[in-house]
């Protein structure tokens, strides 16, 4: 397959892994607020999210450092997007900020 296509797919895969990881973190925090045993939520979620993410990075890279790097860029982009979508205080701060 063309290297440009593989790098594009690596970026998309990194983005999806990041959405899963950081979206899962947000979901875990929401669930643990009302839980009687929040530590179990945090530990279980961390192990699951980290395992899926590391396996995803491993399979996407497939021995190519370029794909790993682009996948990490997609992961970082997803972090910023999930943070913006799930942080009402961040949105309010941006609206009240003078230009």
Measure the N-to-C terminal CA separation of the chain; round to a whole number of Å. Answer: 46
Spatial separation of the C-alpha atoms in residues 3 and 9, rounded to whole Å: 10
Q: What percent of the chain has pLDDT over 90?
A: 76
Prediction pTM value: 0.84
Taking all residues of the chain, what is their mean pLDDT, rounded to a whole number?
89
pLDDT tens by residue, 64-82 = 999 999 999 999 999 999 9
Spatial separation of the C-alpha atoms in residues 41 and 26, rounded to whole Å: 12
Supply the pLDDT for residue 87. 79
């Amino acid at each position: 397959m063309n290297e440009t296509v593989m790098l594009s797919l690596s970026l998309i895969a990194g983005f999806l892994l990041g959405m899963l990881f950081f979206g899962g973190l947000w979901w875990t925090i929401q669930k643990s607020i009302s839980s009687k045993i929040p530590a179990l939520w945090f530990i279980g979620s961390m192990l699951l999210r980290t395992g899926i993410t590391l396996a995803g990075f491993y399979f996407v890279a497939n021995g190519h450092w370029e794909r790993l790097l682009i996948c990490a860029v997609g992961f970082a982009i997803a972090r910023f997007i999930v943070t913006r979508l799930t942080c009402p205080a961040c949105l309010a701060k941006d609206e009240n900020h003078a230009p």
